[in-house]
Structure 1
């Protein structure tokens, strides 16, 4: 069931939160020894919280409304519960902490769960992406309908693409983040855009996003002017764009100035490395921001592949940066969303990335709901 269906059923008392959460815990117990999506499972605490949700609804007054009543949610990492206050207030029930890369693990490879290395639900010999590895795997495998993530360079969007789910990175500064550089921001992984929209409504305090005025003018870029993605993820993303065009969801436009961003990689790494040339990094940030502002003067969306390659094996990608198409928007602060775009010849999913102007998460979610 979707998060929306669970919450509606629990609020109507057609479902008991305790039963929903117990079923999720049973799925995790049965599946996670192979998937390794969870670092910790909070069985007793989750059941206690679920019973509290039921009790609150049983005795509720007319002013009680829990938009995510009884929805099992996984939180990223062992400390993810610290930022889950709005979800708890909305009736969510955290069931455990998802895997992230272990100590000394190359950041671009895999997550480390309680049972071992996190695997991609579609192919166990492939990575689910990182660093929100367990979050994406748990949602894709149906263990939970929602999982929180954090995105510092693509850590929500890349796992979403490689596991075939929806992943939203929020606008920099829009939600609280403990990252000193400002590059890492909160996000969510969900099986549908509607569920991601429920999460956004709860954590942002915005009203439920209305539908966008369709078709939305959009610019397609396979490489952002500097990257060198593989042909297959580009072809899958482009095919997804054509489906959106055929459905009347987007309308492709040609910008007055072709988009050619400066490679954000050196600037991103400088901001993460003490003693680096921050002035140079800020020049790249400012110049790319100027170029993106020019594009968004002509269109409301930028469309790209989410990742430049298919999911790699657990030994790592070698010299290929899976972040090449995502981390520029951590540098610029724009919100971005990864949508499932189909399957490659290896049987693994690929993603289409949607980017909007800062503060326009509602547009991304509205377009994604129409996909």
Structure 2
């Protein structure tokens, strides 16, 4: 199941056709082909909790007349079929083929998944976790079983598995879509083969959405650690190399100054637990002030998605894989993960792109421009 890091991705398993009415460049995996591929791959990948053969095939005749024309997609977790995003995708002609794995009961760390056949493996390295908590969604997209899958992101739960599985991941602006979390930290998101596929997702789930083509080069700030994180040197090297490639290609123009924030761990935990801690509120306001000042001057912030590479199935130890992501769940900014490359041991690394609140369409345009340089994905 594990793919060579020199390949363009894990082996494709399903036939592609065009998605009518959306983008001629977006392939569409056939529902029957997707179901067959899942049956073959999932006993080893363990990305799915349930596979909906009968229901998926029954939806096809009606879906064929709608814009997505039967595009198969996966939903996060056992309740994902009832999410706002899933309902909108179905209304547009998408066909849900199954629910994907999330962490098992009693898990105090969330960067793994438990599928029907066992723990979810990373398609690039089976001895490593795919990340989480949208674990199965990322693994299924990376293994090319589906072209997109729903996710939710309360601390990095879309961006971390996207980074570790080498796919595109988007956390939307807080409040743009209904939050699955009463604290308001979690935002709806999508795991997809590319930013173009995420465009299809947003076009379906938002009432009004206009794609944005950025004017290049984009003024951008690169922060390797947000001022507080302890980043694996090999992860930092991959991300720094990706940033240099974007600058050399004329996609970005780096602006000095960086971005130093206060470590948001205590504030995030206080909000998540419902505590009204004055110190947490002060920290949150100060980080908001610093981010507002940054985005007054530039449209794009670049960081690693995680400070660490995918860890083994025994857990991350004392590391917080969320160290560079959960700041933007507190602040509400949209953030995306774009594949940046691989560490020498074959682990995918993600480049995090962060934009102004509400600039989700612009962020997708920026991500697509980055993908064209970093992964060769074309619009």
After TM superposition, the score normalised by the length of structure 1 is 0.91
Structure 1 runs not aligned, ≥5 long? 58-65
Question: What is aligned with 1:242?
Answer: 244
Report the CA distance shift for 1:209/1:4 in structure 2 as closer, same or farther (over 3 A).
Answer: farther
Is residue 2:370 matched to residue 1:368?
Answer: no
Question: What is aligned with 2:34?
Answer: 24
Q: CA deviation at 1:5?
A: 5.2
Question: What is aligned with 1:134?
Answer: 136
Is residue 2:161 matched to residue 1:149?
Answer: no
Report the CA distance shift for 1:363/1:47 in structure 2 as closer, same or farther (over 3 A).
Answer: same
After TM superposition, the score normalised by the length of structure 2 is 0.89
Q: CA deviation at 1:4?
A: 9.7
Question: What is aligned with 2:295?
Answer: 296
Question: Any idea what the Cα deviations from partners look like across 1:41-89, whole Å, max 9, x if unmatched?
Answer: 11100111112223xx2xxxxxxxx332211100000111112111011
Question: What is aligned with 1:8?
Answer: 20
Task: Return the alpha-carbon distance in structure 2 between the equivalents of residues 154 and 270 of structure 1.
Answer: 17
Q: How does 1:75-154 map to 2 (within 5 A)?
A: 75-83=75-83, 84-154=86-156
What root-mean-square deviation, in Å, do the aligned CA atoms of Structure 1 and Structure 2 show? 2.1
Question: What is aligned with 1:61?
Answer: none
Task: Return the alpha-carbon distance in structure 1 between the equivalents of residues 251 and 355 of structure 2.
Answer: 15
Task: Return the alpha-carbon distance in structure 1 between the equivalents of residues 208 and 332 of structure 2.
Answer: 19
Is residue 2:48 matched to residue 1:38?
Answer: yes
Q: How many residues align?
A: 354
Question: What is aligned with 2:202?
Answer: 200
Of stretches 88-97 and 99-108 in structure 1, the one that deviates more from structure 2 is 99-108
Runs ≥4 residues deviating over 4 A: 1-5, 9-12
Question: What is aligned with 1:47?
Answer: 57
Task: Return the alpha-carbon distance in structure 1 between the equivalents of residues 282 and 22 of structure 2.
Answer: 51
Question: What is aligned with 2:224?
Answer: 222
Q: CA deviation at 1:370?
A: 1.5
Question: What is aligned with 1:68?
Answer: 68
Task: Return the alpha-carbon distance in structure 2 between the equivalents of residues 4 and 200 of structure 1.
Answer: 21
Structure 2 runs not aligned, ≥5 long? 1-11, 371-379
SS at match of 1:39: strand
Report the CA distance shift for 1:320/1:10 in structure 2 as closer, same or farther (over 3 A).
Answer: closer
Task: Return the alpha-carbon distance in structure 2 between the equivalents of residues 208 and 357 of structure 1.
Answer: 16
Report the CA distance shift for 1:11/1:213 in structure 2 as closer, same or farther (over 3 A).
Answer: closer
Q: CA deviation at 1:106?
A: 2.8
